Chains A and B, each alone.
Chain A
Amino acid sequence: MTEKHGLTVKVYKNIMSSHEEWTGKIRALLAKNKIVMVNIIGSPGCGKTALLEAILPRLMEKNKCMVLEGDVETDRDARRLAAKNIPAHQIVTQGACHLSAQTIWNVINDLDLAGLCYIFVENVGNLVCPAEFDIGEECKIAVLSVTEGEDKPLKYPLLFRDSKAAILTKTDLLPYLDVNSGLYLENIANVNSALTVFPVSAKTGEGTADVLKWLQALAETLAKEA
């Protein structure tokens, strides 16, 4: 390889610095309006939308919520949520494998945020890319279903290290699967022992009350810190 000669200019700049304008604006807008934004990340079909369908109607009894749905194509998920009277805004990325901070800013800057307590961003189904891109959220939640394999936390460590909670979905299927649910928990702990883990079934409702309490406690803690 030919060595290139020239002047060396030190840069030392964060690769994501072009996104920081947007994440800064998002965090400032959310803080001003006292809104908690959560970034929900998991593979396609792990049960992100079903989880929101199961939890939000109860959360919305006392808290105004909005869901931003990210998908490569279709508005099916937003329509599913709307059918349960959950306010949802669909973002179609047309190929992008994750939602970007600029996209999120463009959406929330146009929304009526009055009285809103929570924004749930259901990111594009993907365990890799969304973990890399800060969208101005308060925290990430990793979603993993019991059908995906106990080794997934080890295969996707960035997501599990950088999340505040992990939700293990579809626990109603455990009697029909040849999986070790304890190994899921152990592998999550082997990547991030500080992660709060919720085994959940959106179908039966098992475990959803604990997720609800955690979300409520999160908002209360942030309100006190503010």
Chain B
Amino acid sequence: MHEFSIAQSIVSALEMEIGAMAQRPGKVLEVSVVLGKMHQVVIESLQMAWEALSSDSPVLEGSSLVIKTRPVVLLCRSCGKASEKGGLLFVCPACGARDVEITGGREFFIEEMKVEKND
């Protein structure tokens, strides 16, 4: 299940980010990530993996994970239209051409975190 590896990667990336901050933030309450649908992540599995892995992290323990998904968007090199991918095929919904570039749906980043206000 690659959701476990992805959750571990989120934990590692955040630990790096927080470690590099000049001023240590308050306790992390919530982490928001943006995942494009090209990544075929099972949300429930990622949530489970997050619960397990964040509990082992001193900086992320007890935080929840908010997952925002993004659709796959195809930019057609033939007709120039950008359309959300419908169905299984990577073809332009407008003209049927196969020469398409993926301009949305590959997002894979940590957007933000909510931290407790320091007194």
Contact = CB atoms under 8 A, between A and B. Distances in A.
B interface, size bucket: 35 or more
A7 B25 contact: yes
A10 B109 CA distance: 11
A170 interface: no
A18 B16 contact: yes
Contacts of B25: 7, 9
B91 interface: yes
A191 interface: yes
Contact of B99 (A5, A97, A193): A193
A15 B9 contact: yes
Contact of A7 (B16, B109, B115): B115
Given A158-B39, A161-B102, A190-B98, A11 B110 contact: yes
Contacts of B10: 15
Interface in A1-28: 4-19
Contacts of A97: 1-2, 5
A129 interface: yes
Nearest to A160: B90
Interface string B1-40: 1100110011011101100000001100110010000111
Contact of A6 (B88, B109, B116): B116
A13 B5 contact: no
A11 to B, nearest CB: 5
A129 to B, nearest CB: 4
Would you call the interface of chain A mostly helix, strand, loop, or mixed? mixed
Contact of A11 (B6, B17, B38, B88): B17
B26 A7 contact: yes
A133 interface: yes
A14 B5 contact: no
B9 A13 contact: no
A161 B37 CA distance: 13
A108 interface: no
Interface residues of A, number: 34
A87 interface: no
A151 to B, nearest CB: 8
Contacts of B90: 157, 161, 190-193
B108 A161 contact: no
B112 interface: yes
B56 interface: no
A8 B98 CA distance: 41
A12 B14 CA distance: 11
Contacts of A7: 25-26, 114-117
B113 interface: yes
Given A128-B40, A194-B99, 13 more contacts: A4-B29, A7-B25, A8-B112, A9-B113, A11-B113, A15-B108, A18-B16, A129-B5, A132-B39, A157-B38, A189-B98, A190-B98, A192-B90
What are the 9 tightest A-B residue pairs by CB atom distance, in nearest-first order?
A18-B12, A193-B98, A129-B2, A6-B114, A4-B29, A190-B89, A154-B88, A11-B110, A17-B13
